Structure 1
Amino acid sequence: MAQSSNPQFFTQEELNNLKSTYEVGGLEAVVSLIRKKLQELQNTELHIAVTGESGGGKSTFINTMRGLRRKDKGAAKTGTTETTMKPTPYPHPNMPTVCFWDLPGIGTTNFPAGAYLQEMNLNKYDFFIVISDCRFRENDASLAEAMKELGKKFYFVRSKIDNDLRALQMEDEEFNTDEELGKIRNDCVDNLEKAGISSADVFLISNFKLNEYDFPALKEALEDGLDDLKKHIFLLSLQNTTMEIIEKKRVHLLALIGIIAIISGIVGAVPVPGLSFSCDVKLLTYAIIHFRNHLGLDDASLQRLADTVGKPMGNLKAVAKSPFMGEINEQTVERMMVKATSYTIFTDVIRFIPIIGSIIGAISSAPTIINFLKDALNDLTENAKRVVQVAFGSH
């Protein structure tokens, strides 16, 4: 998975507005604009539709993307029969603004293709994932054409690839995995072309092998097809399965530090003894918990990962040794801040929002806030990587 480019949370127009507002009204004048952006990040919604013919593995895919198993609370219902009778939302357990929608299978007696396109309200979804466990057919192509007319992105996913390879291997002693994967991919592409979809990208996956076949490439493609705000929340919703995912999360969370420092430094009112600044300890406490949860180090995320890989949660938690893994409250954060006395602003934080770098520089407490949050983020990132090493090996 390629390294993430710097996230651009502010549009150029917003940056210009921040600059002019700051020049006219000073620090206090930009508070509401910065707060509004942070609130926008928290409230941005992403709606992902998963569709295809009945029985193709849609519900299992939705559970996998949310780090859940079939029997877990809130999991999508799976089965060999048609279990989804209407569009059903499944919010992410940690990020409810990211919602996967299990759409009824197209082309069944309950939902013939013609009626399907009218009843599913396709406009509401950000992009579509079309899943098949065999070959893509005319119904899949009809759905893709409808999405194309709406200007929606769509991705073809060939599921249960491990089952196919296992069956082929039992039949052929000279079985070659790469060669067989190429045949399956070409067959899917050929069938889509016959149905009128040219130059289609097909991702071959197993819902139970998260780091194999095309699953990592699919996640990267989904991420790359989104704007920066939605890319941010999609990335943070991903279960930690590789070092690359964790590093991308670190980069995106790092970009938030400058925003948090401005808000905390301007409007904070809780003095920290022994230091020459006031900061909003509540906001910093929120930030650390936010970092920890999205790096998969809260107990619920660790348990889901343990269930995914079939290992005891204690084995994963044992390698997460960090002062930020225990109870985090305003008192503990205040004590930690007393020790954070370095006053060198990190340029790799400021570079994410260069036009308002001068705003950060004008806040006397900003260097300490930035250093403190970056140290916390780096510490949690290293712990998240150790957890993944234990869970998956050296991915």
Structure 2
Amino acid sequence: MGKKIYFLRSRIDIEMDNLGKKNRQQDREKELNKIRQYCVKKLEEIKFPSQEVFLVSSYRMNDFDFSRFCKVVESDLSENKRHVFNLSLPNFSTDVIEMKKASLHQKILAAAAASFVAGASPIPGTSLEWDIAILVKTFLEIRKSFGLDDESLERLALKVGKSVEVLKAEVKNPFISDISTASVMRLIATSVAGAVMIAAEAVQLIPIVGSLVGVPVSFLTIYTILRNSLDEFGKSAVRVIIKATEK
């Protein structure tokens, strides 16, 4: 059917643990290469020549070939599928965080476009209400994508055997833990982009001129607020991953 096939050899952590029990940790790369070549040989025997085999462990996803496997899959996907794939990945390494940041940029553009449409409303005050709702929804989606919501942090804490409080402490920005209409309004009120948004809303009271000014300003403001915040979310996600994976 012309589909691409990827071969993964799982549970590689068990093989490495066995090496440790034999005090052969220095043979790690040699043993990994031996396993990989064995798999390739067996694939060739069943008429799958020259296939690449990825050695992975679901318990140690930041180790072995999982990151490389994700990059190979990403490069083979269409743009839309690539974004879905990146956002579906668990946060197991800083590489994944960077991949997600790139895909979330598309979500930011979509949110700004939605604000652009809402900004055309002739009713004063409506545009700002829509913008706040768009920001709350998008911030919640970004937080979940980075695994910074309570449910994701609790799941990660259980997996790595650490308290959820230790992981939550790495989320330095209190806004990330408290995304609501009120907190977004405070963010708007204290940001330069937010001040521009409020000014544009006031200008909308002026017939004709208001709609001409408000629409592009609304797009740029939403985009700027979300883009600036994306880095902060990403930094918190990286700190959480480092804390979760440290010995």
**Which residue is equivalent to 1:228?**
79
Residue in structure 2 matched with residue 55 of structure 1 by the alignment: none
| Residue 386 (structure 1) shift | 1.2
Instruction: Give runs of aligned pairs for residues 167-246 of structure 1, distance below 5 A.
Output: 167-168=18-19, 170=21, 176-246=27-97
Amino acid at match of 1:320: V
Q: Residue 54 of structure 2 aligns to a residue in which SS?
A: strand
For structure 2, the 5+ residue unaligned runs are 195-213
The gaps in structure 1 that reach 5 residues or longer are 1-149, 344-360
- Which string of whole-angstrom CA distances, capped at 9 and with x for unpartnered residues, describes residues 54-97 of structure 1? xxxxxxxxxxxxxxxxxxxxxxxxxxxxxxxxxxxxxxxxxxxx
Q: Which residue of 2 aligns with 1:374?
A: 227
Counterpart Cα distance in 2 of 1:291 and 1:174: 40
8 Å CA contact retained: 1:243, 1:385: yes
Between the two proteins, the alignment pairs up a number of residues equal to 226
Q: Shift in Å at residue 174 of structure 1?
A: 8.7
Is the partner of 2:217 in helix, strand or coil? Answer: coil
Contact kept, 8 Å, 1:324 with 1:376, in 2: the verdict is no
Conservation of the 8 A alpha-carbon contact between 1:157 and 1:204: yes
Q: Secondary structure at the match of 2:7?
A: strand
Task: Tell me the distance in 2 between the aligned counterparts of 1:285 and 1:204.
Answer: 40
Q: TM-score, normalised by structure 2?
A: 0.81
- Aligned equivalents of 2:158, 2:27: Cα separation in 1: 31
Pairwise CA RMSD: 2.8
Q: Which has the higher contact order (CA 8 A, sep 6+)?
A: 2
Measured in 1, the distance between the counterparts of 2:118 and 2:183 equals 21
Q: 1:255 aligns with which of 106, 111, 129?
A: 106
How many Å separate the matches in 2 of 1:172 and 1:217?
A: 28
Question: Do the aligned partners of 2:154 and 2:164 also contact (CA within 8 Å) in 1?
Answer: yes
- SS in structure 2 opposite 1:157? strand
User: Using a 3 Å threshold, how does the CA distance of structure 1 residues 213 and 261 change in structure 2: closer, same or farther?
Assistant: same
* 1:258 CA drift (Å): 2.5
Corresponding position: 1:293 with 2:144: yes
Moved over 4 A (4+): 168-175, 268-272
Rate the CA distance shift 1:169–1:261 in 2: closer, same or farther, 3 A. Answer: closer
Does the 8 A contact of 1:240 with 1:388 survive in 2?
A: yes
TM-score between the two structures when normalised by the length of structure 1: 0.52
User: Cα deviations across residues 186-216 of structure 1 (Å, max 9, x unaligned)?
Assistant: 1111111111111101011222211111122
Residue 170 of structure 1 and its aligned partner are, at CA, apart by 4.8
Q: Where do 1:326-337 residues align within 5 Å?
A: 326-337=177-188
% identical equivalent positions: 35
What's 2:200 paired with? none
Looking at secondary structure, tell me which structure has more helix per residue. Answer: 2
Structure with the higher strand share, 1 or 2: 1
